[in-house]
Amino acid sequence: MVEFKAERVLTRFGELSNKGKNRKLFVKQLIANLKAQLSAYPEVKYKNHFDRIMVELNGAPEDKVIDLMRHVFGIRSISPVVLCDADMDTITQVCLHLMQKEEACTFKVMTNRKDKHLPYSSDALNRSVATAILLNTEHKVDVHKPELKIKIDVDMEKAAISTRVVEGAGGFPIGVGGKALLLLSGGIDSPVAAYHIMRRGVEVECIHFAAPPYTTIQALDKVKQLAEILTAYQAKLKLHIVPFTDIQMEIYKQAGPDYGVILMRRSMMRIAEVIAENNKCLALVTGENLGQVASQTLQSMHAIEADVDMLMLRPLLSLEKNEIIDQAKKIGTYETSILPYEDCCTIFKVSNPVTKPKLKIVRLEEAKCDLQDKEEIALANIETFVFPSIEENYL
392 within some domain: no
> Please, are residues 73 and 172 in contact by the beta-carbon 8 Å criterion?
yes
Q: Give the residue among 209, 360, 365 at the shortest CA–CA distance from 299.
A: 360
Same domain, 26 and 96: yes
CA distance linking residue 5 with residue 98, whole number of Å:
9
CB-based burial label for 191 (10 Å; 0-12, 13-18, 19+): buried
Domain with residue 78: its CATH number is 3.30.2130.30
103 within some domain: yes
Per-residue pLDDT reduced to its tens digit, 194-235: 999 999 999 999 999 999 888 889 999 999 999 999 999 999
3 within some domain: no
Same domain, 257 and 363: yes
Phi then psi dihedrals of residue 153, to 5 deg: -110, 120
Same domain, 245 and 323: yes
83 within some domain: yes
Same domain, 86 and 234: no
CA distance linking residue 108 with residue 104, whole number of Å:
13
Q: Give the residue among 145, 157, 163, 177 at the shortest CA–CA distance from 73.
A: 177
Query: Whole-model pTM?
Result: 0.88
For the CA atoms of 109, 110, 113, 119, the dihedral, rounded to the nearest 10 degrees, stands at 20
Structural domain count, the chain: 2
Same domain, 203 and 340: yes
Q: Write the CB contacts of 28 (distance below 8 Å, at least 6 apart in sequence).
A: none
Which of 167, 201, 227 represents a domain boundary (last residue)?
Answer: 167
Which of 167, 187, 203 represents a domain boundary (last residue)?
Answer: 167
Same domain, 52 and 91: yes
Same domain, 153 and 249: no
3-class secondary-structure state, position 207: strand
Q: What is the pLDDT of residue 272?
A: 98
Domain span at residue 116 reads 8-167
Per-residue pLDDT reduced to its tens digit, 63-83: 999 999 999 999 999 999 999
Same domain, 193 and 154: no
Same domain, 135 and 238: no
Per-residue pLDDT, averaged over 255-283, amounts to: 94
